[in-house]
Amino acid sequence: MTKRALITGVTGQDGAYLAKFLLDQEYEVFGTYRRSSTPNFWRLDALAVIDKINFLHADLNDMASLLEAVTVSEPDEIYNLGAQSFVGASFEAPLLTGDVDGLGAARVLEVVRSINPKIRIYQASSSEIYGNVANVERGLTEETPMLPVSPYAAGKLYAYNLVRIYREGYGLFAANGILFNHESPLRGLEFVTRKITNAAAQISLGLRNKLELGNLEARRDWGFAAEYVQAMWKMLQLDKPSDYVIATGLSYSVQDVLVTAFESLGIDWQKYVTVDKRQMRPLDVHNLVGDSSKAKADFDWNPATSFKELIESMTAADYDRWRRRIDGEVFPWDAPSYPSESVFLTRGPQK
Ligand code: NAP
Ligand code: G4F
């Protein structure tokens, strides 16, 4: 029988890759979207899945909309990817971030507990929840204590704990994926990797001449998003739910991203980059390295794309996009597209 999956945050980077992966596995895919004044379906358009998803209007702040989305879609699996996902912005909007990232997950769990406790839930947890713990180089595991240093991470830690509580207390099949940073050409432009690869492409084509960044010394464990969404799915196919670290095991600095991106286009980053204090956070995580031995042992997950391949492919994609735009080509993200009306599911009038 065809399995049904509901993805919150289907319009985001991971939502788009996961939707494509699940469609390739012959799932029927339902995805929640938020109404916005400008259509925001460009990633789904870029992956050619825009008309294969059933869209439901729902917001993690709105319990009624989540109840409706789960009732209508009748999913076997829910992937809760929706979030205010930008750590920097969480310092500007701590209450909203806590509501969406923390309480939003609680709402999803409550809806499942009350409607159909057999639905399996994936919760998008994050390596940010560790904060600045000691001995990072050994690799952070599922057992490492967590000490968040941002409102984003505090909200995600609340959600992480609630997943564990609902699993142990109510017997729900709920799993936390503690994913370390993962990137792609579909990454939002505000995140540091894509900010750099996009700027490097523009600089090399003469479209801009400076790039302002914050903390160049911060280190992260960066992998490729399309590989990470497969781990999400694998976690929900196990006999028993658990929490899993998903990471490459290697960390690189923001400066390493700069060097790799600019060198791949034959330019010297030092001529263009300045440090802008406004890009610094009140608190920042200095270094993150994950150890995904448990994921390897339980469901044979391994990252395949190296840091260099990842940053070079993102830079090449940005360069190609700007080059073709100069030549007059129009892209999905330039001319916002909208799914065909038939894929929108609405409540409609009462029968
Ligand atoms: P993303 O590109 O920023 O996508 C976030 C998604 O959440 C978007 O679809 C967004 O919708 C949606 N959203 C925002 N507020 C919402 C709300 N109130 N109700 C419902 N949906 C809402 O993030 P991502 O990189 O794909 O990450 C996916 C998830 O994994 C997030 O929970 C993130 O915190 C977590 N995570 C990401 C990483 C990473 O490195 N990428 C690592 C660890 C954990 P709009 O399109 O309408 O804004
Ligand atoms: O790219 P970032 O904004 O990602 P961050 O904060 O690590 O968060 C991402 O990964 C988390 C998993 O660990 C996710 F949970 C979260 O949703 C998100 O996807 O920043 C990376 C580092 C930080 O230390 C930041 O201070 O880069 C530093 N940085 C330096 N200059 C900058 C900049 N970050 C951004 N966004 N912009 C800069 O100009």
Q: Which helix (H) or strand (E) holds 310?
A: helix 307-326
pLDDT in tens, 78-90: 999 999 999 999 9
Using a 6 Å cutoff on CB, does residue 172 contact ligand 1?
no
Q: What's residue 85's pLDDT?
A: 98
From the list 68, 105, 67, the residue with the least C-alpha distance to 84 is: 105
Task: Please give the DSSP secondary-structure letter assigned to residue 307.
Answer: H
Residue 341 has pLDDT above 90, yes or no: no
Q: Give dist(CA 272, CA 263) in Å, integer.
A: 13
From the list 70, 85, 2, the residue with the least C-alpha distance to 32 is: 70
CATH (domain of 196): 3.40.50.720
Gap from CA of 87 to ligand 2 centroid (Å): 7
| pLDDT interval class at 330 (50, 70, 90) | confident
| pLDDT interval class at 329 (50, 70, 90) | confident
Q: What's residue 334's pLDDT?
A: 65
Q: What's residue 164's pLDDT?
A: 98
Q: CA separation (Å) from 92 to 9, 76, 214, 263, 281?
A: 21, 36, 16, 34, 10
Q: Does the annotation mark 128 as catalytic?
A: yes
Nearest CA to ligand 1 atom 2: 12
Q: What's residue 1's pLDDT?
A: 85
Q: Does the annotation mark 152 as catalytic?
A: yes
Residue 64 has pLDDT above 70, yes or no: yes
Q: What's residue 346's pLDDT?
A: 77
Mean pLDDT of 296-306: 98
Cα dihedral sign for 115, 118, 119, 121?
positive
Gap from CA of 220 to ligand 2 centroid (Å): 8
Mean pLDDT of 89-102: 98
Residue 210 has pLDDT above 90, yes or no: yes
pLDDT in tens, 123-163: 999 999 999 988 888 899 999 999 999 999 999 999 999 99
Q: Does the annotation mark 293 as catalytic?
A: no
From the list 325, 345, 344, 323, the residue with the least C-alpha distance to 333 is: 325
Residues in Cβ contact with 306 at an 8 Å cutoff, skipping those fewer than 6 apart = none
Mean pLDDT of 58-63: 98
Q: Is residue 161 part of a domain?
A: yes
Cα dihedral sign for 78, 84, 88, 94?
negative
Q: Nearest ligand to the C-alpha of residue 276? A: 2
| pLDDT interval class at 20 (50, 70, 90) | very high
* More confidently predicted of 29 and 327: 29
Q: Is residue 104 part of a domain?
A: yes
Residue 264 has pLDDT above 90, yes or no: yes
Q: What's residue 289's pLDDT?
A: 98
Q: What's residue 340's pLDDT?
A: 81
Q: Is residue 203 part of a domain?
A: yes
Count of domains for the chain: 1
Q: Are 81 and 18 in contact (CB under 8 A)?
A: yes
From the list 217, 215, 225, the residue with the least C-alpha distance to 256 is: 217
Write out the two tokens for 246: 């998903």
| pLDDT interval class at 336 (50, 70, 90) | low
Residue among 189, 191, 285 to mutate when testing ligand 2 (max atoms within 8 A of CB): 191
Q: Are 347 and 68 in contact (CB under 8 A)?
A: yes
Single-letter code of the amino acid located at 348? G
Residues in Cβ contact with 269 at an 8 Å cutoff, skipping those fewer than 6 apart = 200, 211, 258, 259, 261, 262
Q: Is residue 235 part of a domain?
A: yes
Q: Is residue 351 part of a domain?
A: no
Q: Are 79 and 55 in contact (CB under 8 A)?
A: no
Nearest CA to ligand 1 atom 7: 82
Q: Give dist(CA 149, CA 287) in Å, integer.
A: 12
Mean pLDDT of 289-300: 98
Average of per-residue pLDDT values in the chain = 95
- What count of other Cβ atoms lies within 10 Å of the Cβ of residue 208? 14
Q: Is residue 350 part of a domain?
A: no
Q: Is residue 184 part of a domain?
A: yes
Using a 6 Å cutoff on CB, does residue 155 contact ligand 1?
no
Using a 6 Å cutoff on CB, does residue 181 contact ligand 2?
yes
Residue 10 has pLDDT above 90, yes or no: yes
Residue 294 has pLDDT above 70, yes or no: yes
> What is the atom index within ligand 1 of the atom nearest the CA of 100?
18
Q: Is residue 130 part of a domain?
A: yes
Q: What's residue 351's pLDDT?
A: 62
Q: Which of 126, 127, 184, 292 is catalytic?
A: 126
Domain containing residue 263: 4-345
Q: What's residue 72's pLDDT?
A: 96
Cα dihedral sign for 144, 150, 156, 157?
positive
**pLDDT above 90 as % of the chain:** 89
Q: Are 29 and 53 in contact (CB under 8 A)?
A: yes
> What is the atom index within ligand 1 of the atom nearest the CA of 85?
34
